[in-house]
Amino acid sequence: MDGYDLLVVGSANADLVIGVERRPGPGETVLGSDLAIHPGGKGANQSVAAARLGARTALLARVGEDAHGRLLLESLRAAGVDVTGVRVGGAPTGVALITVDPSGDNSIVVSPGANARLTAADVRGAAELLRSARVVSAQLEIPLETVAEIVRTLPPTGRLVLNPSPPRELPAAVLAACDPLIVNEHEARFLLGGTAAGDTPESWARRLLARGPRSVVVTLGAAGALVADGRTGTAVRVPAPRVAAVDTTGAGDAFTAALAWRLGRGEDLPTAAAYAVRVGAAAVTRSGAQSSYPTERELPAAPEE
């Protein structure tokens, strides 16, 4: 393949999903639905979402030499993701234990497994992949040092999109490279060390921009997203189409992948986000993560102005 629209560096997990009426409290047991096993992981999800939309996509990740790893490779190949950067072995494939409630909301516990063995040396070994991609997208289900190495290895023309999930304190060099830093409400609160009553997504974005990223996107679920650009000093709300949510798992990954791809095509932040919210909205209407991702023809229309 001659260059990539998007290189995703991140996790690949087997998602073990159980539907529940409500989540158990501490010390409590509840019964749930039959177990479903889906290919997931924020990195693999992003790459599948982008490829399904038509982006030339590659993934740098690590899976185990096991049935879960084979499930993931099969899903990636079926979507058309270039898997030459997917390393195999070293630890079992990562696993995510997911509960989904009747409103479609999920909670997730991840056992990183092989994702924790995706090292800075793996990034250096994939320097050619990094150079050949218009945009590189990363998340935090892999070691932070691996993400820091992406920043050091990126060519000056490269662009990094980072979703710091699950959130951790970020080194200044990583923050400064983000264009954009994409956060939901939880991640914004964590990175800001808490927020006060009366704070708005606009104020979170302003405070996050002050930490160094070139741009910030705050995802707002059914309300769409807020995009803020440090270069122009503008902040714009982007509404999402109204859809009936079945399962929100992986919708943020689909949003991020679509945004990163469209930015790489030269779109400005509000235009790329207006496309990405349609992709995220489509993804919540079906269950699972990768199994829910739309093709271009399946996207809902943009909401009326």
Under the binding rule (CB under 6 A), the answer on residue 181 touching ligand RIB is: no
Rounded to the nearest 10 degrees, the angle between the axes of helix 42-53 and helix 269-283 is: 100
The reply on whether position 41 binds ligand RIB by CB under 6 A is: yes
Least distance to ligand RIB from the beta carbon of 287, Å?
A: 12
Binding track over 251-270 against ligand RIB, x by CB under 6 A: -xx-----------------
Binding to ligand RIB by residue 247, rule CB under 6 A? no
From the list 70-78, 192-200, 249-257, 292-300, the region that binds ligand RIB by CB under 6 A is: 249-257
Question: Choosing from 122, 179, 247, 253, which is the catalytic residue?
Answer: 253
Nearer to ligand RIB, 229 or 253 (CB): 253
C-alpha closest to that of 290 among 259, 250, 262: 250
Between residues 113 and 230, which has the closer beta carbon with respect to ligand RIB? 113
Q: Could you tell me the smallest distance in angstroms from the CB atom of residue 143 to ligand RIB?
A: 15
- Give the binding range for ligand RIB (CB under 6 A) out of 24-32, 40-48, 192-200, 275-283: 40-48
Q: What separation, in Å, do the N-terminal and C-terminal C-alpha atoms of the chain show?
A: 39
Q: Which of 5, 8, 15, 113 binds ligand RIB (CB under 6 A)?
A: 15
Size of the site for ligand RIB (CB under 6 A): 16
Looking at beta carbons only, is 95 or 191 nearer to ligand RIB?
Answer: 95
248 makes contact with ligand RIB (CB under 6 A): no
Nearest to 289 by CA among 6, 45, 117, 14: 45
Residue selected from 55, 289, 291, 294 as contacting ligand RIB according to rule CB under 6 A = 289
Residue nearest to ligand RIB as judged by C-beta position: 40
13: contact with ligand RIB by CB under 6 A: yes
Catalytic-residue membership of 253: yes
Side-chain half-sphere exposure of 42, counting CA atoms within 13 A? 23
Candidates 38-46, 50-58, 148-156, 188-196 — which segment interacts with ligand RIB by CB under 6 A? Answer: 38-46
Residues from 61 through 100 that contact ligand RIB (CB under 6 A): 96
Six token digits for residue 84: 């030459």
Give contact residues for ligand RIB (rule: CB under 6 A). 11, 13, 15, 40-42, 45, 96, 108, 110, 141, 249-250, 252-253, 289
Active-site annotation, residues: 253
